[in-house]
Each structure stands twice: as C-alpha cells, then as structure tokens.
A = this chain, B = another copy of it.
Amino acid sequence: MPKTIYDIAKAANVSIATVSRVFNSSNTVKEATKKRVLRIADEMGYHPQAYAQRLASRRKNSIMMLVPVMSNHFFTEILKGTQDILVDLNIELTIQNINQELGVFRQVEQILKRQWADGYLLVSLHLSEQELKKLKRFNVPLSLLDDVSPTFDSVGFDNVAGGYKATTYLLEKGYRDIAFLSGKVSSKPVKERLQGYKKALMEHQIPFSDERIFLGDTMDRDGFTEKSGYQAMLKILSNYPVPDAVFCSSDIKAIGALKAIKDLNVKLPMVSYDNLSISEYTGLSTIHQPMYEMGYHATKHLIERINNPEAPICDHVHDPELIIRSSSEI
C-alpha cells in the first residue's frame, strides 16, 4: 500500500500539517524537523500525491500541450523552446496527443473541461475561428502555436508569405511552368502555401491552373509523408508537358519526390517547406520556420496570460526564410 501523509506524520511524530509544509518548502519549519521528515519520507518512499495536492491547493502549476504528434521534427524543436522556459519556472508540462481522426474539437473541449492544467498550448491543431470562440467559455488560458487567431494569443507562421517566397524564387530563376506538390487540400497550412503560390504566379502574369496541383494517393498525416510525395512526383513526371519546376508543400514529401526524380533519372528543380534537420543533409532548398523560437514565445505568452488574464491578446507571426541548397539548382 502506498504511504500517505498520515503515515509519515505518525512516523516522524509531527502533525500532517508539518509534513505538508516540509514538502511545500515552507520556511517556517525548523531545520531539524524538516530533515527528519524528509529522511523518513525518503525511507518510506513517500511523496505527496499529485491529485490530492492539486485538489486541495487549487493550484496546478502545470501546463498542457495538445499535439497531433504527426509533426515529428517540428514538434521536437518546439518542445525544446517550451521546456527552456518551464524548467526555470518549475512548471510541469504534460503532453496530450490529439488523434486527428477522432474529432479534434471534441477532444480539446473534453480536456479543457477536466481542468488538468493552468493553461494549454494548442499546437498545429488548426481549429476554426468559430470553434475557438466556443472554447472561450471555459475561460482558461490558452495559447495557439502554429496558428493565428484574434481570439487567443497565438504564434504562427505566415504560410502565404512562405509559399510566395518559394514560388517567386523559382519564377525569378526563369521557370514559368511551376507545379505545386500539395498535401491534403483541406489542411490549413497547405491552403495558405497554395495561396502564396498563386499570388506569386499572378504577380508574374502567369495564369494559375488546377492541373498544376499534384497530389499523392496516400493521405495519412494530412498527406505529409514521403510516400505521398513520391506518388505525386511520379504523376508530375508522367504529365505532358512536364512542369519545369516544383514548389513542394513539405520537406518530408520532398524527400519522397526526390527519390522519384532520381528513380526516373531526370532533373527538376524544387523548393520545399519546413527545413527539418535532415533537409540540410539531403540538399533541400526550403522555407525555414523558427520552431524553437515559436515554442519559446508561445509558452512565454501562455505564462503571462496565466498571471494576467486581462492582458490584451497578442499574436506573433514569424516570417519565413528561404534557404537555398542543391534541390533547386538543378
């Protein structure tokens, strides 16, 4: 049987209040008593139960991160930024995986209701503005990461600008027939990147055509997989006329696409999106997103919001940066 505060109190010959004070590092406890209690607690393997503690204190000292883990590297970087803030403040972080197939909004709502944490970090969840407004009623600090919204604090990317930058680069190199290697079309970032692509075309007086959007057949993880990129590139290369450059919606897809290009032994310049750490080693020209900084800022905003619920809402939009490596230089 696990030990309780009563067991420790009895063994140390003090009241439970004293034991509690020791564990909450109150400095009103005599040094000798403190030491004794700590020793006995250690011997008996005791530590206050998280649940009881949080119920009684009504403080949670914890924030929760909701993520669709699909985003691998992306997520790891964000996590580093988050942890760098939290460690100093001694705030606990719990990660909850959101299953994209099971109704994202309902899962979020369920979690908020249960009052696990002092605040929540919603990563890449892309809820609609309407859904976000509904979450307001829980009246709980909440920060969006990889998203922008007037409803909550948010730290996002300008995906439109990213798509625009990537496409413009290819246009300025003289390519006219640029394909868009898309992810799942309903995905918010994909839509925005496409929008930037269109804008760039328009500025160069190149008509946009639906037929220049290519998709893989596999659509798990919003189509952000190597396989899906491979399939789409196969389609691009079997098209007539073959486009003379490609803007690819993600690095992971680009890795798959690169293989198709290699397998068919052709050349096709490509710029993609994300700048994962493998991208540097596979020579991808790509749009970089400062993920660490995002994690850092979003977490910071959340903490500030917890401490001051009435502060004006703030949103950060990080500018995308184009990084040129070999994939775009034929």
Complex: A241 Cα to B99 Cα, angstroms: 52
Q: Mark A91-114, 1 if CB is under 8 A from B, else 0.
A: 001111101000000000010011
Complex: A258 Cα to B262 Cα, angstroms: 16
Complex: A114 Cα to B278 Cα, angstroms: 38
Chain B residue contacts of A2, Cβ below 8 A: 115, 138-139
Number of copies of chain A assembled together: 2
Dominant secondary structure of chain A at its interface with chain B: helix
Chain B residue contacts of A225, Cβ below 8 A: 277
Nearest chain-B residue to A140 (Cβ)?
A: B2
Chain B residue contacts of A240, Cβ below 8 A: none
Interface 9-mer from A68-76, A188-196, A309-317: A68-76
Q: Mark A227-267, 1 if CB is under 8 A from B, else 0.
A: 10010000000000000000000001001101100000000
Complex: A39 Cα to B115 Cα, angstroms: 20
Decide if A169 is an interface residue (CB 8 Å cutoff). Answer: no
Subset of 27 A-B contacts with CB under 8 Å: A2-B115, A2-B138, A45-B113, A46-B113, A47-B110, A47-B113, A49-B114, A50-B115, A51-B54, A51-B115, A51-B116, A69-B79, A83-B97, A83-B99, A87-B99, A94-B96, A95-B95, A95-B97, A226-B277, A226-B278, A226-B281, A227-B277, A252-B278, A255-B282, A256-B281, A259-B283, A282-B282
